[in-house]
Amino acid sequence: MEAQEIRAVGRYLRIAPAKVRAILGPVKGKQVEEAVNLLTLAPQKSARLILKVLKSAIANADQKAGVDVDKLIVKSIYVDGGPTLKRFRARAMGRGARILKRTSHITVILNES
């Protein structure tokens, strides 16, 4: 039987992709249980968002027949930039400074080891 890929995507998350990428490194290639433990203990907001998408992928795997959730590993996890919200902040002498509020799309792909 061929190993199935299970994926989950969190889209339009209100955090900059660069902040999410800082947390992705230690999670790649880990067993699912170990990845959940790492993300639970991390204090960053991005860790909470990645954990949410990871749990969604685990739930997706649980729905598929013939997939052992205990043997899953994080095959791939990456973040792409989403649309940027453009805002302005008032500055001196009637000027306005642009503020970019970035969004992210987080993708988690699990595979059986």
Residue from 74, 3, 89 nearest 39 by CA = 74
pLDDT at 3: 67
Task: Count CB-CB contacts under 10 A for residue 60.
Answer: 15
The mean per-residue pLDDT over the stretch 27-47 comes to 94
Considering the four listed CATH numbers 1.10.30.50, 3.90.1300.10, 3.90.470.10, 3.40.50.150, the one that applies to the domain covering 5-112 is 3.90.470.10
pLDDT in tens, 96-110: 999 999 999 999 999
